[in-house]
Structure formats: C-alpha cells, structure tokens
Chain A
Amino acid sequence: MAETLTQGPSPTPATLLPALGRAGLYGALVVLALVYATPLFVMVITSLKSLEEIRNGNLLSLPLSPNFDAWIKAWSGACVGVACEGVNRFFVNSVMMAVPSVAISCLLGALNGYALTKWKFRGADLVFALILFGCFIPFQIVLVPMASVLGMLGLASSTAGLVLVHVVYGVCFTTLFFRNYYAAFPSELVKAATIDGAGFLRIFWRIMLPNSLPILVVTVIWQFTNIWNDFLFGASFASGTAQPMTVALNNIVNTSTGVKEYNVDMAAAIIAALPTLLVYVLAGRYFVRGLMAGAVKG
C-alpha cells in the first residue's frame, strides 16, 4: 500500500483543478509547509542564541551572532537532576539501550514470522493473534509487575533491564511485520529447498534472510524510532545515571530551579531528536512503509 506513495500522482485528474487555481493550491501547500516546519526552525534558531538575545528578541528573530554555546552546555554541562554533566552519558545510554533491543527483537521477529507462515503448525494463527494483542495494550497495565520482575532479576534501573523491556514489548511488532512479509513470500521456494534436503534453519539463513532486506529495514527503523523515543518505560524503570535520553531531556526542561535556559533546552531537544530525524531523512520511504505496516494489517 505504502509503495504506491512513491509511484507518482494518482489518476485524480489534474484538469479538474482550474476551479481552485494552481496558484492557490501552491500557496496553501507552502503556507502549510511553513506551519509544519516552524517549530523545528524555532528550536534551531533558539538554540543558537544567547539568553540575552532570547529575552530581547522573539521566536522568529534570527540570531545576531549564532554560536554553539548552548549546544556545548547541553552536551556536557546542563544539569540533569543534581549532576551537571550534560546529556552525553544519557545519549550513550539510549544508544546502548536501542542497539541490542532492536537487534534482538528483529531477529526474534524474523524467526517467528518465518515459522508462523512457512512452517505453519496447528494453532499458528491463534499463537500469532495472541502475540499481536501485545502491540496494543496500554503499557500502564504492565508497569508495576514489570518493576517487580526487574527488581527480582536485579535489573532495576539498568540499561540491561530496559533492553529486556523493549525486546519483550517490541517483539509483537517485529513478528507482525515479518509475518505479513513472509506470508507473501513464495512458498514454492521453501518447498523446493525442503525437497533438496535443506532444513528449517538452513532455509531461513540461505533463502529467507537474503530476501528480507526491505522488511528488515522497515522493522529496524520502526523499532529504533519507537525505542529511542520511548519515555514511559525509561521514566518508570530507570533513574539516576541509567536514564535514557528522553527522560534526561524532560528532567532538564522541567527542572524548576535556577534560571530557565531556553537555548540549552532547545539544544538538548534537538540532540534527542537527531538520531530519529536522521533516520527519517535518510530512509523516509521505509519509515513511512513501517508506519503503514503498523497501521494496516492483513
């Protein structure tokens, strides 16, 4: 479905348009684009101003002497709680949390999707439906038990604990993505390989995985974006030095002590947003496809 996005305009006839006027159309599109782009623009220019300039200017006034002081402070000097060492360690926490979570959940999802479609055992569809339900629960329903279990496992307030949480509640999405992709994958290839004597894992490794690049990219992006942007789990299960980036950002912005440094807030927010924005800019097509795959089941 999402693929059609890239295939150029639909058959909606352009000749209908004189009624509205091409100029009006472009005008509306550009104004709307400005509206959508403004918040990011405001964030960037605010982060390049001094506090003095922020107080004297307004949201849209350009920085007179743009500098990265606020960025440097956000990275290595802003106060998160009592420690004033910037967000760098929390950024690293998020990386250390996201990379293994994404890798493990994607691998599990690929294996599940493969087993659930190409080696359908009795009850496979029921198992899938039961797994799928996990994608939709409001996570408030698992917070307290999860906190208890993490405590029992000795993983409370640790990055390893967050990895566990993100794998557990991410694997339903990865299973969904791979299952739907493999359902459309020709079963003849798998059958032919079985006749040639290839087993379950060999077929997965040699036939399925090499043909899974598109869905792998979609799934990795989806998982990375969700895990990087997570706040609820981070805020509930990690404190102090183990906080992920989103939690640290919120602590910087919503700390009420001292002078409010809007430029540092904005710099920290952009730092928190950069990884997912970068992924979006570099692989927007796959990003959209992931959104659609998550939205439209079949």
Chain B
Amino acid sequence: MKASLSMKRAETSDGERGATPTGARARRPSLIDRIGDQLPKIVVAPTFLITLVFVYGFIAWTTYLSFTRSTMRPSMVWEGLRPHERLWGNPVWHTALGNLGTYALLYIGLSTLMGMLLAILLDQRIRAEGALRTIYLYPMALSFIVTGTAWKWILNPGLGIEKLMHDFGFQDFQFQWLVDPDMAIYCLVIAGVWQSSGFVMAMFLAALRGIDGEIIKAAQIDGAGLLRIYARIIIPMMRPVFLSSFIILGHLAIKSFDLVVALTGGGPGNATALPATFMYEMTFTRNQVAVGAASAVVMLMTVCAVIVPYLYSELRPKGGAHG
C-alpha cells in the first residue's frame, strides 16, 4: 500500500514536470525523485522510531518487568501479580502516596495562589515591573538540586532560621521542621512553591494582559469596586490558566524527585518519601527491580489520568465554541 501511494505521487509530480517547457521528455520516476518524495517521512522517521522504542517500547518493557521475578537485575521470569502485591503491601509505598497527596495539594494550591497574587499585583501599571518580574521568576531557572541545597541551609535546624530569630532576640524560637517527621513535608512545599510560583505568575500575567479592557470599563461604569471586579469578572476569566497551572504543577508534583533527594533525602525516616524516590530506592538500592517497575507503572498511569484528557482537548480541532 505504501509503495502504491508513493508511485501515485511520483506520477503526478512527473506529469506536472512534463507539462513544463523545460522538462518535456517523459520518463519513469528515478530513484532520487522517489526518495525526494519520501523525504519528509524519512526526516521524521528517526524521531518516530526513537519514540516507538524509547517511549512506548520501554513502557511495555517496564510494565512487563513489573510482572517478573526481577530483583537486582532485570529478569524475564514471569511471576504474575506478585510484585504488584508486594508494592501495595509495602507500608512505605502507602506513606509515599499519602505524602504525594499532601505535597501535591499544597504545592499546587499555594503556587497557584502566590502566582496569581504576584500577577495581579504586577498588573497595576507599576514601575520597575521588569526587574520585579525577573526576581520572582529566577528560581525557575535553577535546578531542584540547587533549590534543595539552598533551602536545606536556610531551614538548617541549628544554624538556619532558628539562629536568625535567636539573634533577633527571640531566644525561645524553635524551628526544627527539617528533622521533624510531621513537618518535613512542609519544607518541601516551601521550597517547591518558591521555585514554581514565578512560573504561574508568568502564565497569569500573560492572561491578564489579554483581557479586553472594555469589559472592565463597563463594570466600572456600573459602579463595581476593584475587589468586586477581580472576584467576579477577572479571576473567573482566568479559568484556562487555572487549568493549565493545575496540569503542569500536578505533573511536576508527581515527578518530584530531585528536590526530595537534595532537601530531605526522603527523611526523617520515610516522612518525605514520594513515589519517585520510592521507585528509585527499590530499583537501585533495594534490589527490587520488579517492585520498582510496578511503582513506575502506577506513576505513569497517574500522569496519564492528568495529561491525556488535557492533551486530547488541546490537540483536537478547535470547534466554534472554543474559538
């Protein structure tokens, strides 16, 4: 079928060429012409093949591994659902899922809130907007390892914020979140929000700049105050931005790994373990490749649940309702 398609196209292009004054002689399409016709496909082919092997093939491979007896090294010996049972029977996995829930909720919520607040404040015809924007957004250029290193020092139980407050005269001030199993997860939230809220700000700012001023003028004429205009008109118009930031931040939260490694190492104990760190530990240090693979499959499915509907709505041909 492929061959016939290409022949057909070669014939038409030959026909066209025959009609031009310069190439009057009729000839069979040469090999070079036929390759030329296929060039767009040939150019995309390597990426397509790479994707088939390294994305879809590897997903299938890892999924298969999650049903095998793989321990230290990948093994192909089938073991059925056992690794999945071991995964769901492992209390650390449940801790990691719970932690992800807490972290994702706070990280997404607070980043969105901060980002929106910054954008609204910046959107008031202020001076030095460019400089301020640069300051709010620079953390996004940093590696999570750098962010984790910085905040690990700032939150240092002995020499960090606690010492600072002591020097300010608050001698009884205690700040031990980083070593407190109940509070360490909030350290991740603080560092994560610091890093990501500038990005959310940029998205909101772009959307705010796209609002039709007439709508707001009309509301003003009707006597609506500032807070009312934001609460009733502008913020509801930001729905698509809320959705985008929810998707992107949710996706980042599920993949969170570097920040945990650098800031808490998953500790104290397993207090800040996340699925990504759990998977890494099972696979590379606990010699439980099959269980690690099973956890990776769960992570993939979670990401798919968030991303696939979004991609579908973004990629489908835009109907009239969506403009």
Residues of A in contact with B (beta carbons under 8 Å apart):
1-2, 4-5, 7, 9-17, 19-20, 25-26, 28-29, 32-33, 36-40, 42-43, 46, 54-55, 57-61, 108, 111-112, 114-116, 119, 121-122, 124-125, 127, 129-134, 136-146, 148, 168-169, 171-172, 175, 199-201, 225, 228-232, 235-236, 246, 249-250, 253-254, 262, 265-266, 268-270, 272-273, 276-277, 279-281, 284, 287-288, 291-292, 295-298
Q: What residues on A are CB-neighbors of B160 within 8 Å?
A: 59
> Which one of A46, A144, A268, A295 lies within 8 Å of B203 (CB-CB)?
A295
Q: What residues on A are CB-neighbors of B129 within 8 Å?
A: 9
Q: What residues on A are CB-neighbors of B211 within 8 Å?
A: 10-12
Q: Is B55 an interface residue (CB 8 A)?
A: yes
| B48 CB → nearest A CB, Å | 6
Whether B125 lies near A277 (C-beta < 8 A) is: no
| B1 CB → nearest A CB, Å | 11
Query: Quick one: CB contact mask for B269-302 with A, threshold 8 Å, 1 for yes?
Result: 0000001100110011000010011011101100
Q: Is B31 an interface residue (CB 8 A)?
A: no
Whether B248 lies near A269 (C-beta < 8 A) is: no
Q: What residues on A are CB-neighbors of B151 within 8 Å?
A: 39
> Which one of A4, A42, A268 lies within 8 Å of B210 (CB-CB)?
A4
Minimum-distance CB pairs A-B, first 8: A11-B213, A119-B40, A229-B143, A280-B141, A115-B40, A231-B258, A4-B209, A10-B209
Whether A280 lies near B126 (C-beta < 8 A) is: no
Interface size class of B (residues with CB under 8 A): 35 or more
5 A-B pairs whose Cβ atoms sit less than 8 Å apart in the complex: A29-B126, A112-B43, A130-B48, A277-B141, A277-B142
Whether A36 lies near B139 (C-beta < 8 A) is: yes
Residues of B in contact with A (beta carbons under 8 Å apart):
5, 36, 39-41, 43-44, 46-48, 50-52, 54-59, 61-62, 65, 70, 74, 118, 121-126, 129, 132-147, 149-154, 156, 159-161, 163-164, 166-167, 194, 198-199, 202-203, 205-214, 216-217, 220, 225-227, 229, 234, 244, 248, 251, 254-255, 257-258, 261-262, 265, 275-276, 279-280, 283-284, 289, 292-293, 295-297, 299-300, 303, 307, 311, 314-315
Q: What residues on B are CB-neighbors of A201 within 8 Å?
A: 39
Whether B142 lies near A16 (C-beta < 8 A) is: no
Whether A144 lies near B143 (C-beta < 8 A) is: no
Closest to A113 in B: B44
Q: What residues on B are CB-neighbors of A172 within 8 Å?
A: 51
Known: A26-B126, A298-B314. A231 touches B261 (CB 8 A): yes
Q: What residues on B are CB-neighbors of A253 within 8 Å?
A: 149, 152, 262
Q: What residues on A are CB-neighbors of B167 within 8 Å?
A: 57-58, 61
A16 to B159 Cα, complex, angstroms: 45
Q: Which secondary structure dominates chain A's binding surface?
A: helix
Closest to A148 in B: B74
A236 to B284 Cα, complex, angstroms: 8
A267 to B133 Cα, complex, angstroms: 25
Whether B206 lies near A2 (C-beta < 8 A) is: yes
A137 to B226 Cα, complex, angstroms: 42
Q: What residues on A are CB-neighbors of B139 within 8 Å?
A: 36, 39
Known: A144-B74, A228-B143. A39 touches B194 (CB 8 A): yes
| B199 CB → nearest A CB, Å | 6
Whether A12 lies near B159 (C-beta < 8 A) is: no
Whether A292 lies near B203 (C-beta < 8 A) is: yes
Whether B300 lies near A138 (C-beta < 8 A) is: yes
> Which one of B163, B205, B229, B314 lies within 8 Å of A297 (CB-CB)?
B314
> Which one of B44, B149, B154, B164 lies within 8 Å of A112 (CB-CB)?
B44
Q: What residues on A are CB-neighbors of B56 within 8 Å?
A: 130
Whether A140 lies near B202 (C-beta < 8 A) is: no
Known: A138-B255, A277-B138. A199 touches B36 (CB 8 A): yes
> Which one of A4, A12, A38, A292 lies within 8 Å of B216 (CB-CB)?
A12
Q: What residues on B are CB-neighbors of A280 within 8 Å?
A: 137-138, 140-141
Whether A131 lies near B51 (C-beta < 8 A) is: yes
> Which one of B217, B227, B255 lies within 8 Å of A13 (CB-CB)?
B217
| B174 CB → nearest A CB, Å | 15
Whether B279 lies near A28 (C-beta < 8 A) is: no
A31 to B261 Cα, complex, angstroms: 30
Q: What residues on B are CB-neighbors of A295 within 8 Å?
A: 203, 244, 248
A25 to B164 Cα, complex, angstroms: 28
Whether A284 lies near B137 (C-beta < 8 A) is: yes
> Which one of A143, A231, A279, A291 lies within 8 Å of B296 (CB-CB)?
A143
- Known A140-B296, A235-B261; 9 more pairs at CB < 8 Å: A12-B216, A19-B227, A59-B160, A132-B315, A140-B276, A141-B296, A142-B55, A253-B149, A276-B143
Known: A10-B210, A140-B295, A279-B141. A25 touches B124 (CB 8 A): yes
Q: What residues on A are CB-neighbors of B59 within 8 Å?
A: 137, 141-142
Whether B202 lies near A291 (C-beta < 8 A) is: yes
A130 to B258 Cα, complex, angstroms: 27
Whether B62 lies near A144 (C-beta < 8 A) is: yes
Q: What residues on A are CB-neighbors of B134 within 8 Å?
A: 281, 284
Whether B283 lies near A144 (C-beta < 8 A) is: yes
Whether A10 lies near B208 (C-beta < 8 A) is: yes
Q: What residues on B are CB-neighbors of A232 within 8 Å?
A: 257-258, 276, 280
A32 to B314 Cα, complex, angstroms: 34
Whether B51 lies near A200 (C-beta < 8 A) is: no
Q: What residues on A are CB-neighbors of B220 within 8 Å?
A: 13, 15-16
A277 to B142 Cα, complex, angstroms: 7
